[in-house]
Structures are given as C-alpha cells and as structure tokens.
A and B are shown apart, each in its own frame.
Chain A
Amino acid sequence: MILDWLLPILISAALLLAVAGMLKRISLWRAGQPEKVNFFSGLMAMPRRYLVDLHHVVERDKYMSKTHVATAGGFVLSMVLILAVHLFGIENRWLSYALLGALVLMFVGSFFVWKRRRNPPSRLSKGPWMRLPKSLLMFAVSFFIATLPAAGILPEAFGGWVLAVLLAAGIVWGLGELVFGMAWGGPMKHAFAGALHLAFHRRPERFGGGRSTGLKPVDLNAAKLGVEKPTDFKWNQLLGFDACVQCGKCEAMCPAFAAGQPLNPKKLIQDMVVGLAGGSDAKFAGSPYPGRDVGFAVGGPNKSITEGLVSPDTLWSCTTCRACVEECPMMIEHVDAIVDMRRFLTLEKGNTPNKGAEVLENLIATDNPSGFNPGSRMNWAADQNLRVMKDVKEVDVLFWVSDGAFDMRSQRILRAFVKVLKAAKVDFAVLGDEERDSGDVARRLGDDATFQSLAKRNIAALSQYKFNRIVTTDPHAFHCLKNEYPDLYPAGQKPAYEVLHHTTFINELVKAELLNLSEFKGGTVTYHDPCYLGRYNGEYDSPRELLKELGIELAEMERSGFRSRCCGGGGGAPITDIPGERRIADMRMEEVRAVGAELVAVGCQQCTAMLEGVVEPRAEVKDIAELVAEALVEEVSPAPAKSREQSKVAKKPLAEEVS
C-alpha cells in the first residue's frame, strides 16, 4: 500500500520543513530589540493564558469560540495522534479510534468555519483565509479516510491506488497548509506565533484578569528614540504582530477606521508583518486603510517604516482608544506599536503634524498645551476659596485640577466638582500653580522626553505633601497618575496614595450618604464611557451607579462599556487632526441620537469638548459632576465660617498681566 510508506515520509517532511520554517521565523523575531522575559514561567503559563485569557476574549463571540475550540482542539489532538499512528506506526485500535474522533471534531469545527466564511463580514480577510476552512476540511477528511484501515474499519487495500493518490494529494494539501504553512507564513502561522506570543507577551500582567495599559517609558539616552524600522521593535512585539489572525475585530471597533481616516489597525499589524519579513502588502486580502490602495506598501526589517510601508498619517489617526487592543483575541498591542513609531517621528524627526509641534512647544515652555501663563492656572478658582497644598501641606484628598483649568467649558465641570466636594465636606486641597499638565498629550504624541519631564516635576511637587488620595475629573490625568507615573518615581520610591476618578469618588460619597441628592428630572439620558476611564482603567460601574442614584435610567448605546466608542479626543488626535470622511464625534453623537437621548452624561472634559463640537441640533452634554452638582440639595445649615487662612489664599494676587 502506497500510503503506508508515503504517509510517514510526508509527515516527517512536513515536520522537518516546518521546523526549518519556524527557526527562520524565530530568527526574524530575534532581529528585534532585546527585551527581558521570563521564558520558563511564560511557557508554563501559556496553556492557561490560551485556555482562559484568550478564550475569554474569543468567548464574546459564542459561535466563533465554539467552532475554534472544535477546530483547534480537534487539530491539535489529531496531530498528536497522527504522529503516533501514522509516523511512529503505533498499532493500537483505540488510538486510531481516538484519532478518528479528533478528526471528526475537527471536521465539524471546520465545517462551521467554512459555513461562516461563505458570507464573510468585511472585517475578515479573504485570500488564503478563505482557503483555510477548506484546507482544514481536507486535512480532516483525508486523514480520516487514511486512518480507517488502521482502525480496522476498512480493509487495508481498500480503494486501490486511485484512492491512495487522491488521499495523498489531500494529505499534502492539509499538511501543507496546517504544518508547513504554520511555519512559513500561511494563515496557520497564528497558531505557532500566537502560542509563543502568549508565552512571551510584553504585558504579562494582562493575563489572569489583570490590566496593563500604561505606556512603557523611553530610555532617553538611547542612540535612537522610538521605532524607525521593524527591527527597532522589541523582539516580542514582532512576535506579537505575527500572531494576528486577521479576524478584523480591531478594524470593526476602530473609530478612526469608521470615520474614514487612513487607519485600519488590522492592516497596520499586517504591514508590520510585511515589514518584519520583508516584501510588499500585495497579498493583503482585507480592508485597506480608508482612502489608500493596497499593493503599494513595501518594507523590510531594516527599512524605515514610514518611508514606503506605513504613511505617518496612519499613525497619527489613532486616538489611542484601545478599542482594538480590548477586542483583539490575540492580545496584540496596537497602541504600543503606534506610539513607538510616533516616538520616532516626534523625537527624532520632529515631524508631529498639524498643531502637534506647537502644542509640544507650549508644553515645554509653559507646562500647558495652549501656552497660557503657568502662573494663571488658578485663575478659574479665584472665587472658589480653594486651599492650596503649599499652605496646608497635609490633606485627605488632593484634587488634581488638570488643564481644564484653562478652558472655560471645563471650568464649569471643575466648579461643579468643587461644589460637590464642599457639600460633602471633604478635606481637600489643590496643588495650584505647582500642578502641571499630566503629560498625557505629550506622551501620546510620542514626545516622551516632555512627558517624563512633566511627570518628574509633578512627582516632585506631589512628594512634598501628605495626602491619602488624588481625585481628578480628567481621565487622562487619572491614567497617567495612576498607571504611568509609578515608572518614573525615583528609584526605590513608590507613590503612597491612591488615584481616583471623580465618578468613583463621588459614588463613594453617595454611598457613604454624605451627599443629599434630588431626583434628576429630564428626558432620556445615555452615558458615554471615556476610553481612559473605561478600557484603560476598567471603571464602568461607578458612573452608572452614580447616575442610578440620581434616578436616571440609562438608555445604553449599542457601543458602551468596554465596547464604548471613542469621542475622537484621545491620543492627541484632535491636535494632529488627520482628515477623514467623517468626524468621530459626529458618529458618536449619531449613536446618542439612535437611543433617543436628550442628554449624554460623560466623565471627561475632553469628551465634553468633542461631543459639544458637534453642530446643533444634538443632545446636551454634561459631565457627571455637573449632574450631581445640579442635583445637590443644599442644606440649610449656615456655611462654615471661612478661616482667615483660607481667604488669604484666595486673595493671593495673581501674576500681573503684561500689556
């Protein structure tokens, strides 16, 4: 019988070639920059990461998760058994039966994959990915039939040479796709790269229900800052790109893509793959960057990415909303990659588009993005009698005001929050002129030098005083303070405080019955989750609980919670302002309209600005602090006498104006 001798040869040839391909692939990854990972524990943790964490993401799509379990589980199992039965020739009927079972499982899974692929949504890549279910079916069927004799179901010489040739062809196809292709860049590459990616992920904290969203600091003394060429990425980032299954979940979530800006996170990751392996994007079979044709991008491991592979506009379109990262079943870190490349453009090339350069220059010269006199940071609070840390030194709550201090609309939010704090008699103070921009925008625009400088000076200011918690109305500052500043504390020091968003804090106050709130009277309300509060920090509940306390029954938008759509205001995107076909904020407002809301509650001044930038008629936009402040029932007790100390602070002369 031909197959008896052919099968082991085919299998071992496929395996050998696969091993060679894998070594080649590994060498491509190793061209990246060194990054320390714990190999052993990573490998040990890998199955769990796959079975629990990754599956948790895939599970959001029940159909897909079931088919994948069947297909992948069936395949892995059959592969092991194929080795046993067909390569090592272990003649055990039960083993063969098990193999048949595994192949059936795989067949069923593949069948559903195929069925789904008959009418694929646009987010899915076509090309080889359309072939994959057929290859899977072919593998399962061919091996099934080839195994029947071994299981004793069919006679040894059944079918003669015709069938044998047919089976051999099917097996070559199947092995070619699933074993050879896995190592040589076929769609199955994702299994090999994905497994290793899970093992050597750059953010192991993400597994086991954790969260890791802060960007990694740049070593400012390095010879090159940021990523210019694919090989400037860390090796495990390159590995991560290779794990992409082109499922397009990221694409479906990306606000920039939906707005017709030239960004598609899936294509971006695939372009990174093109870059790391060398070649062109001609074979890419998914949606292009809106407005750009596929087939003209060429790259190589040592070629500058923004010269030919990815246009800078693509990188600058991203709002860093993390919707892609949240959605990616392979846990790929798009935002890290995008910011890494932006870093090179800003720190080495000085090519931050549009108002970017101006904003960065202002941040350097005045510690705020609009170039206001830093001495006027407290002007908004001239009538608020706020205590300043410099005077009080010690306090329970430090209110981080953020750059909203300079913006008239945001000041309304700040005042509302102060009103709430005062109503709850919170012991709080502000940093006043010692506060600086958190560095959020600088960092997202790639200027880590300015971010680090701002952060270090803010840390120095904070370190002078004693307080238990920082509360801020700005989710961006919240994220920086909470997740990114700890990296920049002087060696051996750690922040000794908790950082809270104001919605969390007010919610606590309400739960502690420190606030007396009246019922909200008004029309339909919906809530917009700010990216930097939700996806970056996992705070979805407090704002909702708080709104509920106000007696508001939310009309939730389709995209809400971890699937909330960005307002378009993050990542410096309003500053770089890459043109698209629509405005992200307009699309978001459309979703607000779709649920019939007259008011959209937000928890971020940037979201407020973006959503209010939508032309009228549109829903009203209010920060939760404003809603709470409006609902406050003033107690009749006389206002506590202000201490002399306090009023002096407020009257402190502000810097003289210069004509």
Chain B
Amino acid sequence: MQPDKQNASLRITALVSVGKHPGSGRARRAEQDARAVEMAMTLAPEGLEVLHAGDPQADSLRAYAGMGLKRLRVLQQGTNADAVPALSQYLKQQKPDIILTGVRAESGESSGMTPYLLGEALGLPVVTRIAEIVSIDHGEANLLQALPRGQRRALRVPLPFVASVDMAAAAPRQSAFGPASRADLESQDIGMAVMDEVKAAWSEAPARKRPKRLKVVKAKTAADRFKAATAKSSGDGGKVLRDKPASEMAQAVFDLLLEEGVLR
C-alpha cells in the first residue's frame, strides 16, 4: 500500500443503505455501499464513519459492521421518511472531507439521486462512479472514474466532495459474523423526519418482464422484406465452419469481431 493511501487526518463518511438480493429479494448489505465502506476503510481507517438513515434494527446493517467496524451511526427514521434531509442536516454539522455513497440503492426508489441531492444541499461537488481514490494532495483528490468495460478516467477534485462508488471499485472485504454481532449501532434520533409524501402516492409491484423490442425491419423494398423474412434469427444454434482452409475460417471469426465492434 502506498503511504499516501492512508491519510491520518482524513475524515470520510460512507453512507450505507439496506440492500436487496436480486434473486431472493432478501435484505443484505448493498454491493456498492459495501464498496464505499471498503474504499473508506482502506483510505482512512481512523477517520471513517459509516452512516445510515433509517431503521436501526435492520439486521442487514450488521453486515457492514462485520467488515470490521466498531460502530455504525444510524439516524433513526421511519421507513417512509426521506433520508436526504436527515443526512444533509447531519453532514452539515459533521463536515467530513469525503462523503461516499453507492451509485444506486438496491431497494426502494433506487433512483440514484442521493449523492446529487446531498451535493446540492451541502454545496459540494459530486463525482459519479468512482473506482478508486488514488491519492490526496494539496487538498485535492486524484480519482479514477469507472467507464464502461474496464476503462478509467482520471479526475481531480478539491475536498470536500461527494462521490458515488462504482461496482468497479475494489470488492468489499468479507463480513464476519463475530464483529457484526458485536458492533455498536449508535442510533440517534435527530428529531426530524420529512415524510416522503410524493412516494406515498406510488404503487410498487414486482418487476414485469419487458419484452425485447422485435427488430421490425420496416422494409422499404421488396428485397429488404425478403431479406428480413429469410434472415436467420440469432437465437438458434451457432454457425459451424469445418473442413475449410484455416485462413477462410479465421476470416469468418475476424469478420464477426469486426461486426461486433470489439476490434480497435
């Protein structure tokens, strides 16, 4: 680990939510939030606070604590309350150097607005989808932002700031049962609960399967129509080339690679 990776005086708050397993729908630690905690733990094990606004009894919060946290702060709220006002009020007082969140929550609205609303409320810059905080110097952080397909963009942003952590960030350490069951969940009644009234009017149901849009070829010519009708649908079995010269077969592979646009 580089020496500048750990920063004694750095104060980081990682915001965590109650996740939801996509298969079972069961509550768990959210994957991105856990990565935020991991990032904070490697960067500033001393100046780390893990914060949740919601129900302090939620068992899945302990899964974060199991990563080795001594305590976890919970701003006590009902399930229908809006988390942002509570969080921003608390963070305004605390003024951490870095606020880390996930990109999108796994349960509830999962709109991904939290970091932006916090940034707006606190007047802080927001960096999206970071994969790594490379270093911090002169009051500025050098970050790597995750772009699709393993690409990265280097950014530099002054402290303090809000950042959402991408799945490309280092995987979170395992949550261990012992520390999880022993950590302090410091519940704090902040005396404010802004009811989320807009949400109350919504209805939520299990996701319906969306049919994939059929590739309707609006044939402009009879030839197009013919082509569309006879084209092999991509679903059934693959094409097999055999007993041909290697050069010819390699060409077929190469053409497919070109068509898929993976060659640069």
Q: Do chains A and B touch in the complex (CB under 8 A)?
A: yes
Show the binding face of A for B, using Cβ within 8 Å: 220, 224-225, 346-352, 356-357, 360-361, 364-367, 371-375, 447, 449-450, 656-659
Interface contact B178-A225, CB-CB below 8 Å: yes
**B199 → chain A closest CB, angstroms:** 22
Residue of A nearest to B26 (CB): A365
Main secondary structure of the interface of B (DSSP, over half): loop
Residue of B nearest to A345 (CB): B176
CB-CB under 8 A from A357, the residues of chain B are 174
Given contact pairs A346-B174, A365-B21, A373-B23, a sample of 11 additional A-B residue pairs in the complex whose CB atoms are under 8 Å apart: A220-B181, A347-B177, A348-B176, A350-B68, A350-B176, A352-B174, A356-B174, A357-B174, A361-B174, A365-B28, A373-B24
Residue of B nearest to A348 (CB): B178
**B20 → chain A closest CB, angstroms:** 9
Interface contact B209-A348, CB-CB below 8 Å: no
CB-contact partner of A657 in B67, B68, B176, B209, under 8 A: B209
CB-contact partner of B178 in A224, A656, A657, under 8 A: A224
Residue of B21, B66, B176, B179 most packed against chain A (CB within 10 A): B176
Bound-state CA distance A658–B208 (Å) is 6
CB-contact partner of A350 in B21, B23, B174, under 8 A: B174
CB-contact partner of A365 in B24, B67, B177, B179, under 8 A: B24
B95-113 interface bits toward A, Cβ cutoff 8 Å, 1 = contact, 0 = none: 0000000000000000000
B3 within 8 A of A: no
CB-CB under 8 A from A371, the residues of chain B are 21, 23
Interface contact A372-B176, CB-CB below 8 Å: no
* A-B pairs, 6 with minimum CB distance: A350-B176, A350-B174, A357-B174, A365-B21, A449-B177, A373-B23
22 intermolecular pairs with C-beta atoms under 8 Å apart: A220-B177, A346-B174, A347-B178, A348-B176, A348-B178, A350-B66, A350-B173, A350-B174, A350-B179, A352-B174, A357-B174, A361-B174, A365-B21, A366-B24, A367-B24, A371-B21, A371-B23, A373-B24, A449-B177, A656-B209, A658-B207, A659-B207
Residue of B nearest to A373 (CB): B23
B88 within 8 A of A: no
CB-contact partner of B21 in A346, A347, A348, A366, under 8 A: A366
B206 within 8 A of A: yes
Interface contact B179-A348, CB-CB below 8 Å: yes
Residue of B nearest to A655 (CB): B206
B210 within 8 A of A: yes
Interface contact A365-B23, CB-CB below 8 Å: yes
Interface contact A659-B210, CB-CB below 8 Å: yes
Interface contact A659-B209, CB-CB below 8 Å: yes
Bound-state CA distance A621–B253 (Å) is 35
Contacts known (A658-B209, A659-B210); A347 close to B23, Cβ less than 8 A: no
**A363 → chain B closest CB, angstroms:** 11
Bound-state CA distance A192–B162 (Å) is 66
Residue of A nearest to B27 (CB): A365
B235 within 8 A of A: no
B22 within 8 A of A: yes
CB-CB under 8 A from A224, the residues of chain B are 178
B175 within 8 A of A: yes
CB-CB under 8 A from A656, the residues of chain B are 206, 208-209
Bound-state CA distance A356–B174 (Å) is 9
Interface contact A361-B28, CB-CB below 8 Å: yes
**A381 → chain B closest CB, angstroms:** 19
Residue of A225, A364, A372 most packed against chain B (CB within 10 A): A364
CB-CB under 8 A from B66, the residues of chain A are 350
Interface contact A366-B23, CB-CB below 8 Å: yes
Residue of B nearest to A372 (CB): B23
CB-CB under 8 A from A352, the residues of chain B are 174
Bound-state CA distance A351–B28 (Å) is 19
Bound-state CA distance A488–B108 (Å) is 36
Interface contact B174-A360, CB-CB below 8 Å: yes
Residue of B nearest to A367 (CB): B24
**B31 → chain A closest CB, angstroms:** 10
CB-CB under 8 A from B28, the residues of chain A are 361, 364-365
CB-CB under 8 A from A348, the residues of chain B are 176, 178-179
